[in-house]
A and B are shown apart, each in its own frame.
Chain A
Amino acid sequence: MGWSPGQVHSAAATLDTDAEAWVASQVGGALEAVFETVAATRHDTAALLAKTAAQGRRPASADLAALRPGLHQRLTRQELVSGVGFVAAPGLLTDVPAWLEWWQTGADGDVRPLLLDLDPGHSAYSDYTHWDWFALPRDTGRRAVAGPYVDYLCSDEYSLTLSAPVETEGRFAGVAAADVYLRHFEAAVLPLLRRLPRPAHLVNARGRVAASADPAHLAGSLTKGPDFGELLTEGTPAEHAGLRLVPCHRIPLVLVLA
Chain B
Amino acid sequence: MRQHEIGGGARGTGGGARRVVFSPVDNRARVDTVVRRIGDAIELGLLADGEQLPGESELAAQLGVSTVTLREALMALRQQGLVTTRRGRGGGSFVSLPEVPADDRLRVRLRGWSTEELRDLGDHWAALSGAAARLAAQRTEPEDLHPLRRTAEELAHAEETATRSRLYGRFHVELAAAAQSARLTREQVALQSEVGALLCLVLGSGEYREEVADRHRSVISAVQDGAHESAGTLAERCVRESTARLVAVRLTL
Contacts and interface: CB of A to CB of B under 8 A. Distances in A.
A150 B181 contact: yes
B177 A150 contact: yes
A122 B45 contact: yes
Given A124-B167, A207-B141, A158 B46 contact: no
B143 A117 contact: no
Nearest to A219: B180
Contacts of B189: 152, 156
B105 interface: no
Contact of B143 (A125, A157, A158, A206): A206
Contacts, number: 52
B176 A150 contact: yes
B169 interface: yes
A107 to B, nearest CB: 14
A220 B177 contact: no
A206 B185 contact: no
Interface in A44-95: none
Interface string B139-161: 11101001100100000000000
A121 B162 CA distance: 9
B200 to A, nearest CB: 13
B177 A149 contact: yes
Contacts of A158: 180, 182
B185 A121 contact: no
Interface string A111-147: 0000001000111110000100000000000000000
Contacts of A150: 176-177, 180-182, 185
A196 B125 CA distance: 43
Interface string B159-200: 000000011011001001100111001100100000000000
A258 B109 CA distance: 57
Give the interface size class of chain B.
20 to 34
Nearest to B146: A130
A236 interface: no
Contacts of A124: 166-167, 169-170
Contacts of A121: 45
Given A124-B169, A130-B147, A150-B176, A156 B182 contact: yes
Interface residues of A, number: 20
Nearest to B168: A124
Which residue, of B141, B167, B176, has the highest number of chain A Cβ atoms within 10 A?
B141
A149 B182 CA distance: 9
Interface centre among A124, A150, A208, A221 (most CB of B within 10 A): A124
B139 A220 contact: yes
Contacts of B185: 150, 152, 156
A30 interface: no
Contacts of B181: 150, 220
Given A122-B46, A130-B146, A157-B182, A152 B139 contact: no
Contact of B141 (A125, A152, A220, A222): A222
Most buried by A among B139, B143, B173, B180: B180
A125 B150 CA distance: 12
Nearest to B167: A124
Contacts of B166: 123-124
A129 to B, nearest CB: 11
Nearest to B176: A150
A152 B180 CA distance: 11
A221 B170 CA distance: 23
Nearest to B169: A124
A53 to B, nearest CB: 34
A174 interface: no
Interface string B19-35: 00000000000000000
A130 B143 CA distance: 12
B198 to A, nearest CB: 16
11 contacts: A124-B169, A125-B170, A149-B180, A152-B177, A152-B185, A156-B189, A158-B182, A208-B141, A220-B180, A222-B140, A222-B141
9 tightest A-B CB contacts, nearest first = A220-B180, A124-B166, A150-B177, A124-B170, A158-B182, A150-B185, A152-B185, A150-B182, A122-B45
Given A130-B150, A220-B181, 7 more contacts: A149-B177, A156-B185, A156-B189, A157-B182, A158-B180, A220-B180, A222-B139
